[in-house]
Amino acid sequence: MNNKIAIIGAGSWATALAVSLARHRSDIYIWARRQEHVLEINREHKNSKYLPGIELPSRVFASNSLEDTLSGAKMTVMGVPSHSFRKVLKEIKPLLNSDTLIVNTAKGLEEDTLLRLSEVFKEEMGEKELYRYIVLSGPSHAEEVARDIPTAVVAASMSIESAQKVQDLFMDRCMRIYTNPDTIGVELGGALKNIIALGTGIADGLEFGDNTTAALITRGLAEITRLGINLGANPLTFNGLAGVGDLMVTCTSQHSRNRRAGREIGQGASLEQALETVNMVVEGVRTTRAAVKLAHKLDVEMPITEQMHKVLFENLSPRTAVINLMSRGGRHELEEAALSSVKFWTSEI
């Protein structure tokens, strides 16, 4: 395989992956839309807006030309937000080699269509090209990956060969990659955990305690799994890195944009004020809109997501949302989990 790797996007995660890859691979080429980012990366070897305090290896190069960035690349990493995925994919499609693998790192759903990003890829590239699509997901803050802090994530694809190529390329002493054929589960785990992280941030802003956070994470995982099984995901995926692993780190870490935005809202800020404070993409906001529509369409119960939607878009006070969740009728935890699993396993017979 040609060693050239192209990274589309110059945000924090895209830049962190460039740093990680350049430390043990050959030259990495980043496409940045803004000329000031290109100049800073090439001249000063830093990306102060999105990854402050990190010196970029000299083998990381930036350009605002998609053609130059993609020329000769055998692997392209999509590091753009989920709401930009389709638009950018259309832009790069005519520039890709016929065998170029596409590694998607965005975590979200397309808001208008309610599609997962692999489904967007299928619409734009064609079903027979799906073997080229790999989603990279899991508990992985850019700030830590860029500092070589040990991290483990998942590469998922309908083609195990493609997933293994990503595994071989990205894995080193600080980055461990597992493969998984369950693209549906890995994509949903990465997207929906951001909604729950907004909720745990709100709880923190309200000065609730660890009990509340643990309840939100655990019951959040239950509703993520319910929706995932309904869409054909393997329930075991949600017990792994792209499920509970990513959920835990996003709900509890100081690096989490979604948790930080939620904390601002819990302390009384409006959604607009919270987003302005974070000053980076908060994927959970758009995903909340899409997930509620999808849950209604499929008749899947997602109470935390429903209350998050009311807080974000219907002016419900965060404290009332918590009361609404706590006042719901009784449930049997094990029976609920068993029914969800039975639905998946019987569909596989």
Is 193 labeled as catalytic in the residue annotation? yes
Q: What is the mean pLDDT of the chain?
A: 94
Q: What is the pLDDT at residue 334? A: 72
Per domain, the residue ranges of the chain are 5-181, 184-348
Q: What is the pLDDT at residue 333? A: 75
Q: What is the pLDDT at residue 1? A: 44
Task: Please answer whether residues 263 and 289 qualify as being in contact, where contact means their C-beta atoms are separated by less than 8 angstroms.
Answer: no
Which fold is adopted by the domain 184-348? Answer: N-(1-d-carboxylethyl)-l-norvaline Dehydrogenase; domain 2 (1.10.1040)
The secondary structure element, H or E, covering residue 14 is helix 12-22
Q: What is the pLDDT of residues 49-86, one digit of tens each?
A: 999 999 999 999 999 999 999 999 999 999 999 999 99
Which position among 107, 165, 193, 310 bears the catalytic label? 193
Q: What is the pLDDT of residues 262-320, one digit of tens each?
A: 999 999 999 999 999 999 889 999 999 999 999 999 999 999 999 999 999 999 999 99
Q: What's the pLDDT band for 145 if we cut at 50, 70, 90? A: very high
Q: What is the pLDDT of residues 77-92, one digit of tens each?
A: 999 999 999 999 999 9
What CATH number labels 5-181? 3.40.50.720
List, edge to edge, every strand of the sheet that includes 133-137.
Answer: 60-63, 28-31, 5-8, 75-78, 101-104, 133-137, 151-156, 175-180
Q: Is the dihedral of CA 103, 106, 112, 113 positive or negative?
A: positive
Residue type for position 326 = M
Task: Please answer whether residues 265 and 318 qualify as being in contact, where contact means their C-beta atoms are separated by less than 8 angstroms.
Answer: yes
Q: What is the pLDDT at residue 342? A: 59
Q: Phi, psi (5° rounding) for residue 218?
A: -70, -50
| CA-closest candidate to residue 197, choices 346, 304, 273 | 304
